[in-house]
Amino acid sequence: MKVLPDIQTIEAYPMTVAGKQNRSFSAKYLKEYSWLEYSLEKNAAFCFCCRNFGCGDVDKVFTKTGFTNWKKMGGANSNISKLKAHAATKEHMLNISRMSGYKNSVVAGCVSSQISIAHQQFVENNRNYLKKLINIALFLSRQGIAFRGHKEDTNSPNQGNFIEMCKLFSNHNPEWHKQEHMSICIRYTKDFEILERFLGFVNVSQSQTAASLLSFILSFLKELNLDNIPIVAQSYDGASVMSGCRGGVRTLLKNKNVFNALEAIYIHFSMPTMNKKLQDMQVKLKMNLVTLSSISDTRWVCRHKNCKVVIENFKLIVDVLQEEVEENNDRDVSRAIGILAMMLK
């Protein structure tokens, strides 16, 4: 289907007798109204968009028979212009909108096609990024090189071999150069088992402000139909734009409360008000608050309470100590090994 009207301009258009005068079509109307077209065969004017995109109740004069009353044709500034009257009708404006939509679909494809192409490109880009990350991990593994460093925050001069090699790729690879990407992961429970899944990378090259990053996160989750699922915790890296207590992403997300969450917790017990809310929630849910305290040298009743807590939570204490030993992250490992050995005697 054509997307532009036929414009047949000639030096002199056929004359038509109108009363005592001879009148003809004028080419100036084609310049004033982009939707107007002229048929030399019928010596009549038609509305291109209504003729091709109209349905239902349309003006037959401008779609089938053709307009030939040149006296009442009038320009854009005329008070008796039939062209101006036709352009103001609801049906004509609707057909103009249909024609515009058709033009856009011809240039860029239909909506479903655009979405499909964009999704394919999105998946392909993510696969390329993952391939590079996997290749880096395989290289470090084959060479027996440690992945992580001693200190990996943004202020560290050496953030570990894996991160530093990713930086090297981004500096010299044209696909990664001058692009900023944010990775999004979720952690959830299924059948009382904690699972963690990587959702994908989000291109944030346009802007890295807290408001922009929050918008990217919400849009990404909405695309995956995860925008209505409540969350109970957030976790970000150490960058101030992400974890800032006043204008960071975690604060904006908490204030926005888009997930209708019970409480969007970022740092569990660092804030007294948040700690109080958690304690109130435990009381409401009839969850007894259990704490381990040091043994009193004078009050034997307190010793009884301490022993009771240890006996009732023996398995949990052992699990925590074993996890501490397995992670082997700090100086408390030796103490954990000693306590665990005494408990398992």
Compare 37 and 254 and report the one with higher pLDDT: 37
pLDDT of residue 258: 53
In one letter, which amino acid is 307? Answer: C
pLDDT, one tens digit per residue, over 223-255 is: 888 877 777 777 776 677 877 777 788 788 777
Pair 61, 67: CB distance under 8 Å: yes
Question: Does 266 score more than 70 pLDDT?
Answer: no
**Global confidence as pTM:** 0.32
**317-345 pLDDT, tens digit each:** 888 888 777 776 666 677 777 787 888 87
Tell me the CA end-to-end span of the chain in Å, nearest whole number: 86
Strand (E) or helix (H) holding 39: strand 36-39
32, 75 Cβ separation under 8 angstroms: yes
- Region 178-192: mean pLDDT is 82
Q: Are β-strands 21-23 and 16-18 bridged in parallel, bridged antiparallel, or unpaired?
A: antiparallel
**C-beta contacts of 91-95 below 8 A and 24+ residues apart:** 91/50, 91/54, 91/56, 91/57, 91/58, 91/59, 92/35, 92/47, 92/49, 92/50, 92/59, 95/47, 95/49, 95/50, 95/53, 95/54, 95/58
Q: Is the pLDDT of residue 316 over 80?
A: yes
Calpha distance 269→246 (Å, rounded): 17
Name the nearest CA neighbour of 96 among 87, 105, 108.
87
Strands 44-47 and 36-39: antiparallel
pLDDT class of 138 with cuts at 50, 70, 90: very high
| Residues in contact with 301: Cβ distance below 8 Å, sequence separation at least 6, in sequence order | none
